Structure 1
Amino acid sequence: MVTHKFRATVGKSKLVNRGERVLVCVSGSQSSVSLLHMIWTGLQQSTYKRLTFEPVVLYIDESVLHDYPLDQVKKIKELFEKYGLTYHIVKFSAAVYLDNCLNKDTNVDQYNDKLQNIFNNLSDLTLKEDMLMKLRKRAITKLADLLKCTRIMTAENEHKLSIRLLSNVALGRGSQISLDIGLAVNNKNNNNTSLVTIRPMRNLSAKEISYYALFNKLDDFMHSNFLTATSEDESIQKTTERFVNDLQVDFPSTVSTIFRTGEKISEKTSAIAYCLLCQGIMEVNVSPSSAMEATKYSKYVSLMGVKALKLSLKELKNEETNEKNCNGCKCRNKQDLKEKIIESLCYACTHIIQELESLDDLPEEILNKEKERLQFKKMEEQIKDFLL
């Protein structure tokens, strides 16, 4: 039944064409190891049932941020070699900062420091986990381009996607739900517009995957992360997970209900912009009476007191900018860039960037994209008077 669900999902509407290169992301979790086994089994089938795409297996080594067992990468490598598939093991810092991140001889010590600085500046576990997911997504997209893959397969199951759905709503990423839980998501905000992320395990429950791994004697290679050994109240993601798990115990259809409801939620707007950091959908032309604008206004009132009640949101933003201006000090240039970048971020990513002491540790491509946007905007302002 599990294999049938997987093959039915992959075969739906011909998501993957014959001979296409597919980047299969393996984290070492039970779900990702099961995905790898299903693909390998599908490649061994008779001609009629055989999977016809070309898998390229990817493992991103995040030991720079977490405490891995010393033999973790070695075991992952042995697993890949057992299946005989093309595979790549890439350091996380190299994937985030380097264009040619497949070169194993490159010294990544300085990039390890930059990556650690980013997460050390984020005191909130919620923001750390959110930032990790967004940087990981950017890294996977970059590697798919480098390896000339037109499809990306990830191993999120129904339970994990249900938790992510509710977490996204709590984080202010409601407009991005369809991108984060959809079956096949086209990465429109990327040079390679044909790149599609597929989630073939999304119709499988955590219990089904556990039984599949048990019957096929599959070992997982899970490691610690930011949320390991933390209390349930220290992050939105952990609180959401507890909420869903507790409901699932008394009401077994909780996960499937959340998941099926989330499938029906999508952003229907022609005016779409994309976040500079997470590459997700940004809301444009937001109504002054929206929840987002109300939250911003509340923040200014908390910071500035009674005088904020007499000003509009636009006037409050200008007031804050003037207060930050330290009389021509050189640090003002960096503050200006930070404020400009925030204009290109979604609501949730704004909180992440505001926590960072310096933007110097961000990937160069993010800073370059913002500089290009500012140059284009400046040119647009210069020529608008000459346009009819």
Structure 2
Amino acid sequence: MCDVQDLEYMDLGKEEKCQRLGKTCMKCKEGAAVVVIRVGDAFCKSCFRDYFVHKFRAMLGKNRVVYPGEKVLLAYSGGASSSAMIHQVQEGLSREAPKKLRFTPGILFIDEGAVCGQSWEQREQTLSEVQQLLKKTNFPFYIVALEQVFNFPQYVLQSALPVNPKDPVNYKQAVNNFLGQKMAHPADELGGKAHELAQLFATGGTYSRPPVVYTSALIGMFSNARTLTAKLELLQCLRSHLIMIVALTCGYPKVMTGESCTRLATRLLSNISLGRGAFLPLDTGFSDDRYGNVITVRPMREYSLKEISFYNRLFNVPSVFIPTLETKAPDNSSIQHLSESFITKLQADFPSTVSTMYRTSEKLNISRADVTEENVQQERCLICMCTLDTCIGDASAFSATQVSQRLSQRKPNKNAEPTGNPERPRCNNEQCCDRSSSCSSSVLDTEDFMPLLCYGCRLTVRDMISVSAFPPYILQEAEQRSRRLGMRREIQEFLLDEGCEDL
């Protein structure tokens, strides 16, 4: 039972809470506080708006990634964070803005209803709400179904290969170069095939239902994954590929996403659990340049989900509720959902949890090795497009894990088989198999697929029944890279070492 001291402590807590809610704004010292972000940080409505806007502008101005006059694609998911991001861009481009934003925005919405098991009628209702909301922005917008990943040709991954990092230049010099000369259009990387992809991405209200074959293939691929963790990782990778292709085709060298500080803290913890610790600077940093000339930036990464929710509520920023794979799922249904639940509950008792994890991620850096044009395809993961973290020495934890897995999966073979490498199964069309870049019927097993993936994506693929459910552009690229690796092994003894000089 509570004693007298406990009752007095509870009364003091109630009095302190009442005083905190009734205090004045910490900035103007005049208006009544309507929002308490953290302990001692109370704002009135006007000062909270200035604080929110200043943080968004300062994030873009401090990093200096977006150039004046550049086209920027805003990735919209219908949630609170991406809705607040679009509202900030609208405010920054208005005539009343004191320091106007100087880029040209466009909006992209990806329809993922098929993955979540929605019927076409439910998807149409959601798309209608999204269209009405995006039309009010007066920005060009694109609504693309996730099923379109099954309509991509193979060269989209080859066009998205990252280039060697150039020497850093001064921001003013970069802006002068951008304004003074005609920059290369991102679609030029696709060659003469860019107009074929452009027809897949409808603008405005011309969105049409995707073919039933693609919808069935998408549902079959996610049904092929055994766990919700693998499904969420696949969805994230396919979504990133689709955003990259739309930006590349429609001429947007920059992409803005609306991940909040809370979301990035969750991703930090879940990615470490999923073996993606080597790529945390790309997955949680301000900019992500893994896709070459299409750079992803995260201007909302300093906002907590609490700040965004308060802003949307006070200033009537509309959003659309769209069910996801994690909707109504228990906390232990996936590693991502468990990490989110853990951080959210810890944040309620310790308010500095999210900010501490966020500041930790800011200090992480990725080591960039020199990559040549000849081996760039072999040193990048086929799914997430990150540098392979599996090219390490034999005396490592990864190599020990690989040996343990091979020994545990080995089965006794009673019937002796002839030595030598068995020939890979081929499709019936011999002319098709002779062309290494266009064969879509070749058989590629999981063992041939694994060397092309990073450690985190290997864990995802192991949770899948078969790799044949991947979209054709991934399978074709995997087949081509696998053959190149096989050819290199065959002629390895005839190659000179990199350190040898020409005689």
Which TM bucket (shorter chain)? Answer: 0.7 to 0.9
2:450 pairs with 1:351:
no
Which residue, 191, 213, 226 being the options, matches 2:312? 213
Q: How does 1:327-342 map to 2 (within 5 A)?
A: 337-342=445-450
In structure 2, the partner of 1:312 is: none
**Which amino acid letter does the alignment assign opposite residue 49 of structure 1?**
K
Residues 1-388 of structure 1 mapped to structure 2, 5 A cutoff: 1-46=51-96, 49-66=99-116, 67=118, 68=122, 70-95=124-149, 97-98=151-152, 100=197, 101-103=200-202, 104=207, 107-187=210-290, 190=291, 193-268=292-367, 270=369, 273-304=379-410, 337-378=445-486, 380=488, 381-382=490-491, 385=494, 387=496
For residues 146-167 of structure 1, what are the alpha-carbon distances to aligned partners after superposition, in whole Å with 9 as ceiling and x for unaligned?
1110000000000000000110
Amino acid corresponding to residue 151 of structure 2 in structure 1: Y
Tell me the SS of whatever aligns to 2:288.
Answer: strand
CA RMSD of aligned residues (A): 2.9
Aligned residues: 368
Which structure features the higher share of helix residues? 1
CA deviations on 1:124-164 (whole Å, 9 max, x unpaired) are 01111111111111111111101110000000000000000
The answer to whether the 8 Å contact 2:281/2:366 transfers is: yes
Do 1:175 and 1:281's aligned partners in 2 also have CA atoms closer than 8 Å?
A: no
**Are the aligned partners of 2:113 and 2:123 in contact in 1 as well (CA < 8 Å)?**
no
Letter in 2 for 1:36: I
Task: List alignment gaps of at least 5 residues for structure 2.
Answer: 1-50, 154-196, 372-378, 428-440, 497-501
Distance 1:197 1:96, change over 3 A: farther
What is the TM-score normalised by the length of structure 2?
A: 0.67
Q: Distance in 2 between matches of 1:275 and 1:302?
A: 25
Deviates more, 1:158-167 or 1:328-337: 328-337
**Higher Rg:** 2
Counterpart amino acid of residue 71 in structure 2? R
Counterpart secondary structure, 1:83: coil
Mean CA deviation greater in 291-300 or 217-226: 291-300
In the alignment, is the contact (CA less than 8 A) between 1:23 and 1:56 conserved in 2? yes
Look up the SS of the partner of 1:169 in the other structure. helix
Q: SS of the residue aligned with 2:136?
A: helix
> In the TM superposition, what is the alpha-carbon distance from 1:60 to its structure 2 partner?
0.4
Q: Which amino acid aligns with 2:128?
A: K
From the superposition, tell whether residues 195 and 260 of structure 1 become closer, same or farther in structure 2 (CA, over 3 Å).
Answer: same
How far apart, in 2, do the equivalents of 1:359 and 1:185 lie?
A: 27
Decide which moves more: 8-17 or 39-48: 39-48
1:155 to 1:270, Cα distance in 2 relative to 1, 3 A: same
Matched to 2:61, the amino acid is G
Look up the equivalent residue of 2:146 and give its one-letter code.
F
User: TM-score, normalised to structure 1's length?
Assistant: 0.86
CA offsets, 1:205-226, max 9 Å, x none?
1111111101111222122211
* Deviation for aligned residue 1:382: 3.9
Query: CA-to-partner distance for each residue in 1:32-57, whole Å, 9 max, x for gaps?
Result: 11111110111103475111101010
Distance (whole Å) between structure 1 residues aligned to residue 139 and residue 215 of structure 2: 29
Distance (Å, rounded) in 2 between the aligned partners of 1:107 and 1:205: 36
